[in-house]
């Protein structure tokens, strides 16, 4: 235990020189990881030139391979997204498309994402968090990640335009705080379990 690491892809539409409300909520996540001596890294996907397409490397300066390499090294992956029009961001969808383009297998012949666990974090000023997180969780499960119970944390305000997580002091929301505790702990729990007892290569090996 304790040799785990976590990678968080913040799929905000903004680059890291702009404040992201999602980042603020993610800080509470990484605090839990820190307390458990799990090394975590938060990446703003918008900082990278990620090409469109369904392949590991689309060439022409495509920077997805850099991110994919980090994903391959991680035990825990969190896809984080803001809400726009009640849905996950276009950048988070592009990440799913690029992950979908990966057909690499591990040395057991299982998809490369096996024995990694995944969760999702969503923030928005209003309605849409579960719709966004659900797409991400289901996509990740199909691609080979294992999903622990209560795998998401989110904050949204009430209906309509309004302040986001930081300004609205969403960190005072007990439900959101409870989500963060459950999701972060369960991601660590399941990652630890699969580290000791990986999923056997039976029935899930590509020919």
Among residue numbers 53 through 72, which ones bind a copy of itself (CB under 8 A)?
53-54
CB atoms within 10 A of CB 39: 15
Segment near a copy of itself (CB under 8 A), from 2-10, 59-67, 70-78, 190-198? 190-198
Site for a copy of itself in 4-63 (CB under 8 A): 13-14, 32, 46, 52-54
**CA-CA distances (angstroms) from residue 164 to 33, 66, 72, 118, 160?**
24, 31, 32, 25, 11
Q: CB-hemisphere CA count at 13 Å for 124? A: 25
Q: Does 76 bind a copy of itself (CB under 8 A)?
A: no
Among 76, 89, 121, 191, binds a copy of itself (CB under 8 A): 89
Site string for a copy of itself, 119-158 (x = CB under 8 A): -------xxxxxx-xxx-xxx-xxxxxxxxxxxx-xxxxx
Q: Which is nearer to a copy of itself, 13 or 166 (CB)?
A: 13
Q: Which long-range contacts (CB under 8 A, 24 or more apart) does 65-68 make?
A: 67/9, 67/43, 67/95, 67/98, 68/98, 68/102
Residue in 2, 59, 61, 160 binding a copy of itself, rule: CB under 8 A: 160
């Amino acid at each position: 235990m304790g040799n785990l690491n976590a990678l968080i892809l913040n799929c905000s539409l903004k680059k890291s020189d702009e404040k992201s409300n999602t980042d603020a909520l993610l800080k509470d996540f990484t605090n839990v990881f820190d307390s458990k001596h799990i090394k975590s890294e938060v990446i703003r996907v918008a900082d990278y030139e990620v090409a469109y397409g369904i392949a590991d490397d689309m060439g022409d300066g495509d920077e997805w391979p850099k991110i994919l390499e980090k994903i391959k090294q991680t035990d825990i992956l969190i896809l984080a997204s803001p809400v726009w029009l009640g849905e996950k961001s276009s950048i988070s969808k592009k990440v799913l498309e690029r992950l979908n383009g990966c057909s690499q297998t591990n040395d057991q012949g299982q998809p490369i994402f096996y024995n990694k666990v995944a969760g999702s974090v969503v923030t928005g000023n209003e309605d849409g968090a579960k719709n966004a997180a659900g797409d991400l969780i289901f996509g990740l499960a199909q691609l080979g990640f294992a999903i622990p119970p209560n795998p998401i944390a989110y904050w949204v305000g009430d209906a309509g335009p309004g302040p986001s997580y930081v300004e609205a002091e969403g960190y005072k929301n007990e439900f959101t705080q409870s989500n963060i505790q459950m999701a972060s702990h369960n991601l660590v729990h399941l990652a630890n379990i699969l580290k000791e007892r990986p999923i056997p290569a039976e029935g899930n090996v590509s020919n």
